[in-house]
Amino acid sequence: MIFILLFFFVIGLVVRTRLWAFLNKAEDRYLLKVPGYKIVKDTVQQFFGKNRSFFKEVVLVDIFNSGALMTGFITDDQGDIISVFVPTGPNPTSGNIYHLQKDRVTRTNAPVDVGMKTIISCGAGSAEVFASAAIK
């Protein structure tokens, strides 16, 4: 327990010193020049960082016109065509992007974090998503 507290104390000291400023400058100088680093950094920040506006809203989509609904997130709305990201569970960082006619998309009032929780839990807790949907 003492080791853990000491470890976090040292991290706190590093963050408040010049070493932290040097590490931040090192990212600008070196890491941002590595191919793909910025893309990976932006993606991680979109899912777990400050940029939480990656998805606009939770939707249910009938991709194959079979009646089976999938939970997805609107990434772009062009009016008649809506771009939807349908993640795979339990790992929401992978999935498929579909560009669908708006009549194939059922909008919900569920918050994005609730939709993400249902993906991570492989569908458990989907009742809130379905309760907030206007299913035909």
Task: Please report which helix (H) or strand (E) contains residue 8, including its range.
Answer: helix 2-15
Tell me the pLDDT of the chain (136 aa) as tens digits.
899 999 988 888 777 777 777 777 877 788 888 888 887 877 777 666 665 556 889 999 988 888 889 999 999 899 899 999 999 888 887 899 999 998 899 999 998 888 888 888 888 888 888 888 866 5
**What DSSP string describes 60-124?**
EE-TTSSS--EEEEEEEE-SSEEEEEEEPSS-TTSEEEEEEEGGGEEEB---HHHHHHHHHTTTT
Identity (one letter) of the amino acid at 33? K
Residue 107 has what pLDDT?
Answer: 92
Which residue in 86, 92, 88 sits closest to 61, CA to CA? Answer: 86
Length in residues, the chain: 136
- Please name the residue that has the structure tokens 């065509």: 81
Strand partners, 84: 74, 98
Residue 131 has what pLDDT?
Answer: 87
Please say whether the beta carbons of 52 and 91 come within 8 A: no
Which residue in 72, 56, 76, 85 sits closest to 115, CA to CA? Answer: 72
